[in-house]
């Protein structure tokens, strides 16, 4: 597969990538390395994993990170109630139960990370979404997975992927992700698209938006991002705003249309106050 092929694969799923992003994705696939994507919210980082899963015909396994996330929620846990039941049944029948029986795959409950490398399941695209929201100690657990595509379970042993998953890690950079994670990944900063690419994205994702309105929406959003906003609108907000304007029956931008629909584009009062009402 070439960079052009990779770009076409993404394009076939409705994801319009520039050459640099397509190259980063291509290298991640060719080298079987995790791809670490940083960027502002709404720039399409998560959508890359969705497009890859669909384009490659792989199942998507998504781990949404959050504060307090631990191994039991992210990788695996033992089915304690069933283990206790097995012990009681053995006692009731006068038999015994061996520890190796209790800690077998029959009592293991896979979560996202283990599911993504399970050799008994079809190959996966693993999306570790918003890693920066998880606590720093959680990152240490990912090192074995990202380096060797395996997870060591003390009671059971090591489970390794038969086919390495395609791993996409995203971060909105609310905090710095540790260097040890970065070293195991290929890195790409996903920026807001330029006007031409954003116009192409709008045409692909919202084809019912009139041409004039779509052009005006993209020009307005591009100009708005140059201002000192708390949260500049992402591509997702551009699409929402364009669809909102269509739902209001607008065919072109006007001060009144902007004022009535701005809540679909900017989500903070101070940003709304800075947004121009003129076209």
The alpha carbon torsion through 9, 237, 18, 206 (nearest 10 deg) reads 50
Q: Please state, in angstroms and rounded to a whole number, the distance separating the CA atoms of residues 268 and 127.
A: 29
Tens-digit pLDDT profile for residues 111-127: 999 999 999 999 999 99
Q: Please state, in angstroms and rounded to a whole number, the distance separating the CA atoms of residues 95 and 104.
A: 18
Tens-digit pLDDT profile for residues 36-69: 999 988 899 999 999 999 999 999 999 999 999 9
DSSP for residue 267: -
Q: Give the CATH number of domain 3-75+111-190.
A: 3.40.50.300
Cβ partners under 8 Å of residue 210, min gap 6: 246, 251, 252
Task: List C-alpha distances in Å: 81 to 109, 112, 276.
Answer: 12, 21, 60
pLDDT of residue 102: 80
Q: Please state, in angstroms and rounded to a whole number, the distance separating the CA atoms of residues 120 and 205.
A: 36
Tens-digit pLDDT profile for residues 116-171: 999 999 999 999 999 999 999 999 999 999 999 999 999 889 999 999 999 999 99
User: How do strand 108-110 and strand 59-64 relate by DSSP bridges?
Assistant: unpaired
pLDDT band for 253, please (50, 70, 90 cuts): very high
pLDDT of residue 84: 87
* CA-closest candidate to residue 235, choices 182, 197, 189: 197
Our measurement of the distance from residue 230's CA atom to the centroid of its chain's CA atoms, rounded to an integer in Å, reads: 22
| 181 close to 167: Cβ distance less than 8 angstroms | no
């Amino acid at each position: 597969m070439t960079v052009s092929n990779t770009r076409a694969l993404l394009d076939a799923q409705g994801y319009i990538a520039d050459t640099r992003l397509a190259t980063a994705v291509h290298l991640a696939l060719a080298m079987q390395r995790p791809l670490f994507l940083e960027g502002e919210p709404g720039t399409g980082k998560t959508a890359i994993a969705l497009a890859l899963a669909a384009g490659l015909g792989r199942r998507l396994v998504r781990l949404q990170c959050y504060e307090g996330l631990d191994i039991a929620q992210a990788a695996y846990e033992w089915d304690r109630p069933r283990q206790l039941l097995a012990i009681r049944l053995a006692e009731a029948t006068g038999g015994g139960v061996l520890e190796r029986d209790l800690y077998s795959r029959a009592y293991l409950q896979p979560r996202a990370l283990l599911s993504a490398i399970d050799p008994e399941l079809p190959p996966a695209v693993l999306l570790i979404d918003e890693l920066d929201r998880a606590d720093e100690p959680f990152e240490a657990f990912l090192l074995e997975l990202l380096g060797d595509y395996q997870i060591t379970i003390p009671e059971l042993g090591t489970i390794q992927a038969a086919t390495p998953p395609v791993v996409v890690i995203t971060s909105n950079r609310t905090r710095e992700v540790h260097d040890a994670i970065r070293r195991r990944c290929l890195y790409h900063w996903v920026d807001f698209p330029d006007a031409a690419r954003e116009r192409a994205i709008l045409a692909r994702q919202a084809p019912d938006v009139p041409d004039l309105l779509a052009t005006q929406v993209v020009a307005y959003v591009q100009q708005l991002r140059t201002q000192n906003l708390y949260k500049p609108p992402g591509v997702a907000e551009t699409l929402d705003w364009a669809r909102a304007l269509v739902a209001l029956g607008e065919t072109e931008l006007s001060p009144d249309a902007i004022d009535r629909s701005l809540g679909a584009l900017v989500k903070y009062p101070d940003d709304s106050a800075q947004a121009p009402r003129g076209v």
